A and B are shown apart, each in its own frame.
Chain A
Amino acid sequence: MLAERTMVTNIVTALADETVESVLNRMRAVKLRMIPVVDADGMLLGVVSTFSIMKKVLPSYISTGDLDQISYAPDLGILRSHYREVAKLKIAEVMDSKPLMVNRDESLLAVSAAMISLNQHEHAMVVDENKHLLGIISAGDVLDHLREEGANDA
């Protein structure tokens, strides 16, 4: 089974110069946790997720320090003030600019292996030779596909 037959092509995207706040609003409206960031020609620049935005909101001395846990700290209002700063940033400043990219003719086996082994991506971006975004495959899409195939076999 090829990537292009599994991928979802009906995609909501963000543009690099949109603010984090407006992109978050759109994500909330369509109930998505992750959306790709493209330029005006539809070329893939990166992906942005609620998780990656939350990581930005967390002070980096916490996310990258030697603190195993900080359950001893009360709420300091740091998150709220950081959130206000991050919300105003351009999406290009918070996106992950190295998303998992796969070709349209890759096998489902290769795609799922890449999702697991390369930094645990939950989504794979299907692109053409010029990095134009064609579709997205999520872990759920893979599982759905396997279930349908099983049903057809029976």
Chain B
Amino acid sequence: MAVDTIEEKLATRHAQSQLEAKLAFYKRIGLIGLIIFAVALPFLVSDFRTFQFTRVLYISIAVLGLNILSGYNGQFSLGHGAFIALGAYVAAIMMDRWGVPYYLTIIPAGLIGFIFGFLIGLPARRLEGLYLALATFGLALATPQILKKFEIITMGVQGIVVDKPEVPFGLPISQDQWLYFFTLMILLVLFWAARNLLRARTGRAFVAIRDHHMAAESMGVNAGFYKPLAFAIGGAYAGVAGALATITIQFVAPDSFGVFLSITLLVGSVIGGIASIGGAIFGGIAIVFIPNVAEEISKAAPWAIYGVILILFMYAMPSGIMGFINMLWRGYVKRLLTRT
């Protein structure tokens, strides 16, 4: 396509911007469609499935936190489960000991996750790549033991049982459905916040530090502040997810926050597409449903199948589902452009 005159150039550019506007419109329609689908979902499936989808939702929130930390800021964490544990215990203790209603535990859980994340993020500033992964892996390994050690606060291996939330305002839905909507509401707020945050100054600082630490610093980005901030935000998201987990499952115990939880979070994050917001949802779906699929394939060794699925997935889509979708989308846009 040889473009010679200014007029022709302007014409192509105009066509491009028109196309972009159209595509943005399609994207918005798609998003609204998805939200409507998400709202309709609990009326289409059984209560047990609704409970599973609630799990998908809060795990997606935690995965999004990890995406912000690892995908956008480039700090690998294999210990994100520790923040979930923290949020879960904050919620459980508030509800069980102090009789706080469940909906008031979300914000404190997020706040404590934020503070704790910032504190962990401070020494993490000096660790790069795999070393950070290692240190956080240690955090994940130590979490159940620490929880068991402070028995006075956490009730040790016995765990804490809390009540299932009642449906408010006399709405004609089941408790599971109400929990689903409650979680969905928080998820939408947090995803919207993440999108705005990542598009703004903070998000660009995160990405700049990830892509070239030194260049970012020389442009005046204060990495010493933004790196722990990324940890704090990741921690806050995971803390909220933890509180929601407590509310959904109505039980916390140290052994549900082992290494395995942290590993599955990273797995979900990578499968969904680590540097993306929407990928977190795919991650949540993968975390909740791949074990089920694996179990259907082989009752004897479901985790072996799980491992095989993981490896095959990485062969097929090394940059995750969202990366794959983006690739297809870019190809489509390119084809449209060459046609005009």
Q: Are A and B physically bound partners? A: no
